[in-house]
Amino acid sequence: MIGAMAGAMPEVMRQYDVPLAPVLIALILGPLTVEPPFRSHGIGRELIPESSPAIAPGLSHCKLHGPASGAGQAALRLRFDKAGDSPQEFLMEHSLASRSVRHVWHPCTQMKHHEQLPLVPIKHGEGAWLYDMDGRRYLDGISSWWVNLFGHANPRIGNALKAQLDTLEHVMLAGFTHEPVVELSERLAALTGHNLGHAFYASDGASATEIALKMSAHYWRNHGQPEKNRFISLAGSYHGETVGALAVTDVALFRDAYAPLVRAGTCVPNPDARNAAPGETAVTVARRAAAALEAHLIEHAGQTAALIVEPLVQCASGMAMYDPEYLRLARDLCDRYRVHLVADEIAVGCGRSGTFFACEQAGIWPDFLLLSKGISGGYLPLSIVLTTDDVFAAFYDDDTARGFLHSHSYTGNPLACRAALATLDIFVQDDVIAANRAQATRLGDAFKAAVGAHPAVRHLRQQGMILAFDVALAPAGFARRFFAEALERELLLRPIGNTVYTMPPYILSNDEIDHLATRTAAALEASLG
């Protein structure tokens, strides 16, 4: 028996730098226990030395052994704290987070913070829930960073991808085409009433931003106005973190770090409804911000290529929400002063705002509309820039230099396009936009009941399936603390500074909505205590 176990273990031991002999001893001597100086962190059941400033990388800093006896035996013992754990399972589970820390550089993350808050290794997803290696579950209240629309492991999207995988996984989109990308482009054009009938493809939101900015500046160049190459964005705006996208991003953390690399644009006041003075409405704030935009255009329209906005919700700057009046006025001003309007719907598109496109609520169409995140249902990277006949015509020429110059190898990937088509099918088959109106009402009512009267809650607000509130007098490190407390209560929520928000999948049951609201309230209370 021991020989058989030994035969199965060496590769595991080699991978995780754990000596084989102590594990075999543990198999013989029985369960191991946790003793000081280690503590169980809880989340992910990572074992962290109390005296160490750093998370133990895997089990490579640990020596596994049976009951202490004799000189030279370390005081450290580990316990298999889940019934039925085998040593192999234990090692796999407890090393995955640490292996990730060791080799995976995670985005928007100060890696040193994982000394105190271990990563959560996720094994699988189902519906609105994510499940870790322990079997603990977490309601995905932010749709895994705003991408998942219809739940994890959605069978309709999964089956569409399986069929596509057996047909065509990829072909370059230079000189070739394929059915999924053509059909997707046609259907998106139809959703815009054919106002935006041309689709240019990329992989991520920041790339879509850069494409739109480049298209705009190149459009004016082709029209003999190369001086129109500057861009306007709203205060607090976020449009991605590539060097080009940072030109229109007004988040100090990103902007300042890379300032020497960035050709900065101009920020104008945003129409955030929280800026309303006593007696003012969101419409008042929108009109005041539009007046500031016009004042800038009066002086600088001759050098300005485009204005870029996040319609209705400025997400990464703290879920700033504003009235559609601003979009109506901005559209009029852009037309009057001959400046393009770019609508970054990367986060707010695909039904998040209450309509499929947020711009619909203002009754306007931009010159460029950007989609990513939810368009593929949360399955595969995909971004799309939709634009007008006028823009397309400016590049249609025998001269290669007048053509638009941007590409990447996976442009218009058939699998990603198929996932997007399956996502659009669900919108039609389930009448999702109408269903979401009722869903949004239930979500809002649940949060009003759970946190509306909390003394620390400010500006509880909602736009469609996006709900947020600010936390007054939040302690230092509030966002990380809230994140950890939410995980302990079966929630995945990740505040932006002192703003707690939820942007859940569209499939929550009433019980899941109640779970989300009440556990959010409990996490808030624990984070402030």
Residue-wise pLDDT for 454-488, tens only, equals 999 999 999 999 999 999 999 999 999 999 999 99
Write out the two tokens for 307: 């204005």
Which residue has better confidence, 114 or 100?
100
Summarize the confidence of residues 84-93 as an average pLDDT.
53
* SS3 category, 448: helix
140 confidence band (pLDDT: 50, 70, 90): very high
- Flag whether pLDDT at 104 surpasses 60: yes
pLDDT of res. 113: 77
Percentage, residues of the chain above pLDDT 70? 82
Lowest mean pLDDT among 13-17, 121-125, 221-225: 13-17
**Dihedral through CA 428, CA 434, CA 435, CA 439, nearest 10?**
140
88 confidence band (pLDDT: 50, 70, 90): low
- Flag whether pLDDT at 380 surpasses 90: yes
Span 198-242, pLDDT tens digits: 999 999 999 999 999 999 999 999 999 999 999 999 999 999 999
Q: Which of 254, 167, 253, 171 is nearest to 209 (CA)?
A: 254
Lowest mean pLDDT among 83-92, 248-257, 422-431: 83-92
Residue 46 — left, alpha, or beta (φ > 0 → left; ψ -120 to 50 → alpha)?
beta
Integer angstrom CA distances of residue 371 from 346, 387, 440: 4, 11, 22
Cα dihedral across residues 311, 317, 318, 320: positive or negative: negative
pLDDT of res. 66: 34
- Residue indicated by tokens 């556990």: 519
Percentage, residues of the chain above pLDDT 90? 73
Lowest mean pLDDT among 11-25, 99-113, 160-174, 215-229: 11-25
CB 308 within 8 A of CB 212: yes
pLDDT of res. 106: 82
Lowest mean pLDDT among 7-21, 114-128, 221-235, 249-263: 7-21
pLDDT of res. 120: 87
Asked, colleague to colleague, whether 133-151+432-528 and 155-429 share their fold, the answer is no
Summarize the confidence of residues 429-447 as an average pLDDT.
98
Q: Which of 24, 103, 23 is nearest to 58 (CA)?
A: 103
Provide the edge-to-edge strand list for the sheet that holds 137-140.
122-126, 129-132, 137-140, 491-492
pLDDT of res. 232: 98
pLDDT of res. 256: 85
Which residue has better confidence, 105 or 436?
436
Look up the CATH architecture of domain 133-151+432-528: Alpha-Beta Complex (3.90)
Summarize the confidence of residues 404-413 as an average pLDDT.
93
CATH of 155-429, one of 3.30.565.10, 3.40.50.80, 1.10.490.10, 3.40.640.10: 3.40.640.10
pLDDT of res. 111: 76
Span 498-515, pLDDT tens digits: 999 999 999 999 999 999
Which residue has better confidence, 413 or 106?
413
Ranges of each domain in the chain? 2-115, 133-151+432-528, 155-429
List, as own/partner pairs, every contact residues 217-220 make where C-beta atoms lie below 8 angstroms and the sequence separation is at least 24, other chains included.
Answer: 217/305, 217/306, 218/394, 218/395, 218/404, 218/405, 219/305, 219/340, 219/391, 219/394, 219/395, 220/305
pLDDT of res. 81: 42
Lowest mean pLDDT among 79-88, 363-372, 418-427: 79-88
Lowest mean pLDDT among 31-45, 135-149, 350-364: 31-45
Summarize the confidence of residues 401-411 as an average pLDDT.
92
pLDDT of res. 504: 98
- Flag whether pLDDT at 384 surpasses 90: yes
Lowest mean pLDDT among 82-96, 143-157, 256-270: 82-96
Q: What is the mean pLDDT of the chain?
A: 85
How many of the other CB atoms lie within 10 Å of CB of 517? 24
Burial class for 494, CB neighbours closer than 10 Å (0-12, 13-18, 19+): middle
Span 320-354, pLDDT tens digits: 999 999 999 999 999 999 999 999 999 999 999 99
339-349 burial by CB neighbour count: b if 16+ within 10 A, else e? bbbbbbbbbbb
CB 68 within 8 A of CB 75: yes
- Flag whether pLDDT at 491 surpasses 50: yes
Burial class for 284, CB neighbours closer than 10 Å (0-12, 13-18, 19+): middle
pLDDT of res. 58: 34
Which residue has better confidence, 96 or 518?
518
Summarize the confidence of residues 51-75 as an average pLDDT.
32
| Alpha carbons 190 and 118: distance in angstroms, whole number | 46
Helix or strand holding residue 243 (H, E): helix 243-246
pLDDT of res. 87: 54
Which residue has better confidence, 410 or 105?
410
70 confidence band (pLDDT: 50, 70, 90): very low
Summarize the confidence of residues 308-321 as an average pLDDT.
96
pLDDT of res. 91: 52
- Flag whether pLDDT at 194 surpasses 80: yes
